[in-house]
Amino acid sequence: MIRKALKNTTKSEKLKAFIKKSKVPPEFLQANRKMISRGVFIGIFIAFIPMPMQMALVLAFMPVFRFNVPIALAMCWLSNPFTMPPMYYMEYLTGSFFLGSEVSEVHMTLEWFKENLDDIFVPLYLGTLFYSVFGSLFAYWAVNHFWRKSVHQDKKKHRHHR
């Protein structure tokens, strides 16, 4: 379903005119399985990292990797002001668990973070590494799996209708 919608979007004349006008390299907008799954991988990997300017980091990866940039940017939006506190708290708890360290009481104030940054930095980024790697790998696998399943089902329907 999503695969077909992406394929139909790439055929839009309005979109092609916009791309030509804005001089966006077309290879970063391809809607095939590899480009979409790479975009999902990079976007989710970066979305779990607690840092400002996540979308700029996605754009910094453009010269190094080939991926669907709009998909990667959209995946970065998974970490937004509403989802960031639970995501980062979950990462902190996971990192503390891996380190076997004591979990300090967290208060969502800027002052508390300034006072406790040294104590939470290592567990937070260890948890970040865990969720970035495994979350993005799972998403990459899921996109590939469901894309291939969709193609297989379409071929099966096409054979049945013959």
pLDDT digits (tens, 9 = 90+) for 68-102: 888 998 999 888 888 888 898 899 999 999 999 88
Q: What are the residue ranges spanned by the domains of the chain?
A: 2-161
Alpha carbons 57 and 53: distance in angstroms, whole number: 7
- Rounded to two decimals, the pTM is 0.81
Average pLDDT, the chain: 85
- Cβ(48)–Cβ(132) below 8 Å: yes
Sign of CA dihedral 13, 16, 20, 22: positive
